Structure formats: C-alpha cells, structure tokens
C-alpha cells in the first residue's frame, strides 16, 4: 500500500479504480483488509464506477502506532482523512465510515463540509450523540497479559479479534480511551452534507439509526435487516443501499 505523512504520523492507504472518489474509514481494531476488502466493499464500489480510497487509521493496520490516548481524538483522526484528500489533490469526496470510522466521518462532515460531498454513517446510530457504543473495558481486555485472563465477553471478543489481525494491542487500548467523543444534538443538526445512516436492526452497539437520521437535516436511514454490529458490515442490503444513495448524488 501507499502511505503519506500527516505531521509525524505515517498513514497507509489504498487507491484503486476510476470515477467519483469515495473514502472509506474503518472501525475500531479493524483495517482496510478486514473492513473493506474481505467484505468486498472495494470490489462493489469499483464495479459501481467509483474511485475507492481507504486508509488505515492511526494505530491500526500499516499506519503509525501511537500510545498516548490524546493522539486519537475523533477530530484528530478526521484531520487524517482531510490530509489524505489534500495529499491526493481532491477538493472533495464522498466519505463512508463504519462504527468508529462513522464517528470520524461525522466529525469530518461537521468540521469540513466543503470537503465531504456526502457521508455514509454505518454501524453508528444515536450513540454518536447519546454516549458511545463500545464499552471502555475493552481497553483493559487489550492490555491483559493474555486472552485467557479476559473474562468479560465483549472484551474477550475484541481481544481475540485484535490478536487474529496481529494488531498492536497497546496502540488499540490507547485508541479506545482517546476516541470516545460524542457530538451534541445541535452539532449533528448543523451537518449540512447529504447523509445516509445505515445500522443493523440487531445492532446493540450503535443505537438507533433512524433516531440519529432524524436529527440531521435531510438524512436518510437504512435498516440492515437481522444484522448485528459485526455481521452488518458486508451485508448485501447495506451495499445496495449505499450504491443507490451514491448514484442519487451524481
């Protein structure tokens, strides 16, 4: 993968296909491969005539690993996406994020609406406003001596996932502690770009997608039937809804 420097942070990214650009921002403890390539998002969007750009967030994948929670504020990670647009010479692009990546996309749309053509907020609903989705004790699970020492079920899932993807556990723990910001109802009401909020109907992490969409002027909600937070990512209803939404923006 290619990479660029944003300050002292090296950000790895993928850039494939031709057409209108869309930037993909993955979720916590994930990476480009797990969130976008394996579930065939990159293939789907390229077939839909899109230039697909995706980055490994700081602390994840092939990007720099940082151990200070303050380095992972959602607004800071949104600036990484803005810097990637600058690096590629793109005035604006569609942006799609999932879970933590959706939080980053929302912060970007609020701070730099001129750079975001449309935003897709996946795997994140009203908990963008009313608290955050993932429990903070995931950080403790990531810092435990071994998976066998983790008893809490959600923490155990994330520790096992992080080990499977050979992630830097200490960097992920710092990210978990540093990226748990919310936006106020007034802030989400100030988002002026077209928005699609897509959440699985069995997602207990994200909170209600329709409740969040109702707060954002003109936003649409997409229910992903019978899918939880993990299984919604590659769902065909999600993909079809995103492609339709993007085609309506052309």
In a domain, 21, yes or no: yes
CATH of the domain at 189: 3.40.50.1820
Residue 123: φ, ψ to 5°: 65, 25
In-domain check, residue 42: yes
Model pTM? 0.96
Enclosing H/E stretch for 141: helix 137-143
Closest C-alpha to 230, from 14, 38, 18, 3 = 38
Number of domains in the chain: 1
> Which DSSP symbol is given to 36?
I
pLDDT on residue 70: 97
Token pair 């960097």: residue:
171
Closest to 246 in 3D by CA, of 89, 90, 35, 93:
93
CA dist., res. 114 & res. 189, Å (int): 16
For residue 149, being part of any structural domain is answered with no
In a domain, 145, yes or no: no
Predicted confidence (pLDDT) at residue 97 exceeds the cutoff of 80: yes
Structural domain contains residue 168: no
Which two three-digit tokens encode residue 179? Answer: 């990226």
Report, as an integer, the average pLDDT of 161-182: 94
Contacts of 236 (CB under 8 A, 6+ apart): none
Q: Is residue 137 part of a domain?
A: no
State the pLDDT at residue 5: 97
**The domain containing residue 48 runs over which residues?**
2-132+179-249
Assess if residue 204 is contained within a domain.
Answer: yes
Residue keyed to tokens 């978990």: 176
* Distance between CA atoms of residues 162 and 101, nearest Å: 17
Residues forming a β-bridge with 22: 52, 94
Within 12-91, residue ranges assigned H as helices are 32, 41-47, 74-88
* pLDDT-derived band at 132, boundaries 50, 70, 90: confident
Gap between the terminal Cα atoms of the chain:
29
Whether residue 51 lies inside any domain: the answer is: yes
pLDDT, tens digit, 9 for 90 and up, residues 173-221: 999 999 999 999 999 999 999 999 999 999 999 999 999 999 999 999 9
Residues counted in the chain: 250
């Amino acid at each position: 993968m290619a990479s660029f420097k944003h300050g002292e942070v090296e950000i790895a990214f993928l850039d494939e296909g031709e057409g209108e650009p869309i930037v993909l921002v993955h979720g916590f403890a994930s990476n480009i491969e797990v969130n976008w390539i394996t579930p065939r998002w990159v293939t789907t969007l390229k077939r839909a005539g899109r230039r697909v750009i995706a980055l490994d967030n700081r602390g994840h994948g092939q990007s720099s690993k940082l151990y200070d929670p303050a380095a992972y504020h959602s607004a800071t990670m949104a600036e990484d996406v803005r810097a990637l647009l600058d690096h590629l010479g793109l005035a604006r692009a569609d942006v799609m994020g999932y879970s933590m990546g959706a939080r980053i996309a929302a912060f970007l749309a609020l701070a730099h609406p001129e750079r975001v053509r449309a935003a897709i907020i996946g795997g994140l609903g009203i908990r963008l406003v009313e608290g955050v989705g993932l429990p903070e004790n995931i950080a403790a699970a990531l810092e435990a001596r071994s998976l066998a020492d983790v008893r809490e079920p959600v923490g155990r899932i994330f520790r096992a996932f992080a080990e499977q993807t050979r992630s830097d556990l200490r960097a992920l723990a710092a990210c978990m502690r540093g990226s748990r910001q919310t936006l106020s109802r007034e802030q989400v009401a100030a988002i002026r770009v077209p928005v699609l909020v897509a959440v699985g109907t069995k997602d207990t992490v994200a909170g209600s997608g329709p409740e969040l969409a109702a707060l954002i002027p003109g936003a649409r909600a997409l229910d992903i039937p019978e899918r939880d937070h993990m299984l919604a990512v590659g769902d065909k209803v999600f993909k079809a809804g995103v492609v339709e939404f993007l085609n309506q923006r052309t």
